């Protein structure tokens, strides 16, 4: 049937979509600028032009090249991909769970990661103290700790998926299961902390401070692949999420297999979050609030919300990373401490400002 062929494309709509495209273009540019700044700024200042040249493999100064290649660039890229992955997962989770408080951590993943790390520190003996370092504490065997944290993250996801399979993938079931599992893993962590000695306790707490400094090139590559795949997956589902936002019944009537979309989205969001958390520790706020910042500016349409959240997450974490290096130089703060310092005031401002244009 074809009844509505006589319409025209309104020029105002084309202009409206054009404005959103410009916003996305601006964010992409900002991300690029922040990436260069994140590599350029720090205890040793590298001129921006050298950074750009180094990106294209044409670095002149070998001293800079080493700093860029071995320290700054992997850290900056870790921040970029972690921020992007967490924010994209957050935007998707808010739609999947039909809940504005949805975030990559709603399903108890951060608590599970902390438990996994604590378990590894205590029972696998991977935590120790290092007096010479600024951080004071370090993990002897980061791979084992990472693996343990990842296993715990995936365990919570798999339990929730199993529950969703049995009881139907409704948002209520998922959110409440996540709350219950999060509490369970917190209790587990407290149990381990109670019996831990000073060194172990310090290592456990230290692990939870999300820090891009833990990432080397292998971790960055791994995160890049997982985050890129996840973002593409979410973007591929953009109209499905728009349909779910209109109500489950409407979505079903539009041919969306709501339960499947929900379950698949949750699996991908959990996976990307588990990878980031187990490599870098817990970085809160980005996944919860970045999508809301973007919603306030360009609305709930996932065609734009998903890419814009991804870029905003990357920008926020790069900004926090730069500040973490400059604020108490030569001390470098874990980036997770600063994300909320930058994001919260922005968000509160947008919240107070009258909605709409």
Where does this chain bind another protein (CB under 8 A)?
1-10, 12-13, 16, 239, 242-243, 245-247, 249-250, 252-257, 295, 299-301, 356
Nearer to another protein, 200 or 309 (CB): 309
Given a contact cutoff of 8 angstroms between Cβ atoms, the answer to whether 89 and 104 are in contact is: yes
How does DSSP classify residue 214? G
CB of 314 to another protein, least distance (A): 23
Nearer to another protein, 124 or 235 (CB): 235
Nearest Cα residue to 84 out of 280, 228, 208: 228
Nearer to another protein, 16 or 328 (CB): 16
CB of 167 to another protein, least distance (A): 15
Given a contact cutoff of 8 angstroms between Cβ atoms, the answer to whether 212 and 70 are in contact is: no
Cα–Cα distance between 48 and 76 in angstroms, integer?
Answer: 14
CB of 104 to another protein, least distance (A): 21
Cα–Cα distance between 113 and 77 in angstroms, integer?
Answer: 22
CB of 267 to another protein, least distance (A): 20
Nearer to another protein, 69 or 257 (CB): 257
Nearer to another protein, 162 or 246 (CB): 246
Cα–Cα distance between 179 and 304 in angstroms, integer?
Answer: 30
Nearer to another protein, 243 or 323 (CB): 243
Given a contact cutoff of 8 angstroms between Cβ atoms, the answer to whether 335 and 317 are in contact is: yes
CB of 51 to another protein, least distance (A): 36
- 3-state SS, residue 139: strand
Nearer to another protein, 45 or 353 (CB): 353
Residue 347 in tokens: 């968000």
CB of 254 to another protein, least distance (A): 5
Question: CB-hemisphere CA count at 13 Å for 304?
Answer: 22
Nearer to another protein, 45 or 357 (CB): 357
Q: Is the peptide bond before 255 cis (omega within 30 degrees of 0)?
A: no
Question: CB-hemisphere CA count at 13 Å for 109?
Answer: 34
CB of 261 to another protein, least distance (A): 11
What phi, psi does 137 have (nearest 5°)? -120, 145
Q: How many helices (H) and strands (E) does the chain have?
A: 15, 2
What is the number of other CB atoms lying within 10 angstroms of the CB of residue 283?
A: 31
CB of 245 to another protein, least distance (A): 5
């Amino acid at each position: 049937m074809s009844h509505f062929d006589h319409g025209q494309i309104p020029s105002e709509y084309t202009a409206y979509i054009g404005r959103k495209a410009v916003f996305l273009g601006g964010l992409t540019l900002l991300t690029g600028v922040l990436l260069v700044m994140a590599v350029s700024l720090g205890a040793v200042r590298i001129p921006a032009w050298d950074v750009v040249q180094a990106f294209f493999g044409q670095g002149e100064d070998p001293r800079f090249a080493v700093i860029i290649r071995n320290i700054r660039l992997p850290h900056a890229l870790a921040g970029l991909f972690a921020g992007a992955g967490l924010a994209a997962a957050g935007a998707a989770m808010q739609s999947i769970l039909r809940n504005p408080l949805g975030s990559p951590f709603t399903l108890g993943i951060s608590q599970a990661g902390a438990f996994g790390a604590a378990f590894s520190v205590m029972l696998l003996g991977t935590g120790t103290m290092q007096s010479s370092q600024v951080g004071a504490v370090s993990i002897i065997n980061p791979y084992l700790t990472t693996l343990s944290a990842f296993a715990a993250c995936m365990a919570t996801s798999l339990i929730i998926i199993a529950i969703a399979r049995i009881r139907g993938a409704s948002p209520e079931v998922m959110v409440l299961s996540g709350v219950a599992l999060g509490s369970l893993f917190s209790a587990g962590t407290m149990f381990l902390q109670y019996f831990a000695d000073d060194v172990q306790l310090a290592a456990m707490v230290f692990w939870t401070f999300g820090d891009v400094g833990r990432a080397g090139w292998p971790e960055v590559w791994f995160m890049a692949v997982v985050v890129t795949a996840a973002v593409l997956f979410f973007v591929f589902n953009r109209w499905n999420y728009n349909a779910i936002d209109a109500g489950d019944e409407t979505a079903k009537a539009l041919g969306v297999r709501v339960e499947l979309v929900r379950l698949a989205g949750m699996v991908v969001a959990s996976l990307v979050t588990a990878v980031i958390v187990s490599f870098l520790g817990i970085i809160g706020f980005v996944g919860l609030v970045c999508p809301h910042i973007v919603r306030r500016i360009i609305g709930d349409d996932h065609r734009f919300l998903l890419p814009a959240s991804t870029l905003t997450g990357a920008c926020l974490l790069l900004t926090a990373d730069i500040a973490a290096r400059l604020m108490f130089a030569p001390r470098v703060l874990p980036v997770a401490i600063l994300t909320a310092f930058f994001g919260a005031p922005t968000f509160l401002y947008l919240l107070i400002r009258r909605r709409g244009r």
